[in-house]
Amino acid sequence: MESASVAVGHAHADHHHGPPEANQSSRIDRQTLGILLFIVSEVMLFGAFFASYFFLRVVVDPASWPPEPFELPKAVAGMNTAILISSSFTVHYALESIRRGNRTGLKLGLVATWLLGATFLFIQINEYVHLGFSARDLSFGSIFYSLTGLHGAHVFVGLCLLSFATIRAFRGHFGPGAEDHLGVEVPGIYWHFVDIMWIIVYVTVYIL
């Protein structure tokens, strides 16, 4: 028995290259754990920016917020919020489709999500052009562009991830099994995080 296991070990060693396989939890796959840890770190990053926002607004306590004559386009940002929330629904539709083996639904959902996300980013950039103040105009301008710009950068990263997922979906890489569509599941989780962050940014910066 020992010689057999040694023989098997040698056979395995012939095919094995590099360091040994890392330990993997039976309860969560490493890709999902990876995106969870990444999102936690990004939440801390946003937390730092929100702390700065609340410090400038509450502790410094300026005469008015936004300072006159600056004004924020709440309606346009509200419409943008609706667009981003819709994109969460479309990416969820895409994932539900592939869980049921519907590859057409997956492709449609991913394309729709990407288009909605790109529209959001386009409207955000257009808003920057027409706002009437820059990041150098008082602390308000600085924190506004910092917070919304940080979120915009996250949307851009999300669009890159969705691009990879969409291209792979059109190449038929994904299947109904849980391990067979992690390449869509992980970008989907990230996209939902981006959406949740925007809801918090919109409520805090534009509305309150």
Partner 1 sequence: MKFDEAAVFKWVVIVGAAGAVIVAVTLLTRPLVGALLLLVVVIAGCVYGYRWSERKWRELGARRRSREPRE
- The residues binding partner 1 (CB under 8 A) are 28, 32, 36, 78, 85, 88, 91-92, 95-96, 178, 185, 188-189, 192-193, 195-196, 199-200, 202-204, 207-208
Site of tokens 């996209």: 191
Least separation in angstroms between CB 96 and partner 1? 8
CA 190 to chain centre: 4
Least separation in angstroms between CB 92 and partner 1? 5
Query: 120 or 193, CB closer to partner 1?
Result: 193
In angstroms, the CA 8 to CA 14 distance is 10
Query: 71 or 96, CB closer to partner 1?
Result: 96
Least separation in angstroms between CB 122 and partner 1? 22
Q: What residue type is assigned to position 199 of the chain?
A: I
Least separation in angstroms between CB 28 and partner 1? 6
Query: 146 or 204, CB closer to partner 1?
Result: 204
Measure Cα distances from 60 to 49, 54, 65, 204 in Å.
15, 9, 11, 17
Tell me which residue of 190, 193, 188, 194 sits closest to 106, measured CA to CA: 188
